[in-house]
Amino acid sequence: MSGSTRLTMAQALIRFLASQYVERDGEEHLFFSGVFGIFGHGNVAGIGQALFQYRDRLPYHQA
């Protein structure tokens, strides 16, 4: 294979969100510094596993 990474949809989504930056007043800041959620209320498609896997890049805060 040619340097590609296989990810689930949830893993790709979390990595995408964790990689978004916004520029304000000439400085770059993370657009998403973390996520809030209530497990058992619509968290499907492996998003919980992906949030746990990438917890260092996109912290999860339980509401």
The tally of CA atoms less than 13 A away on the side-chain side of residue 46 is 11
Which residues, including other chains, have CB under 8 Å from residue 3's CB and lie 6 or more apart? none
Q: What is the chain's pLDDT, residue by residue, as a tens digit (63 residues)?
A: 578 989 999 999 999 999 999 999 999 999 999 998 877 765 566 788 898 899 999 998 887
Map out the domains of the chain as residue ranges. Answer: 9-62
Query: What's the pTM value of the predicted model, to 2 decimals?
Result: 0.77
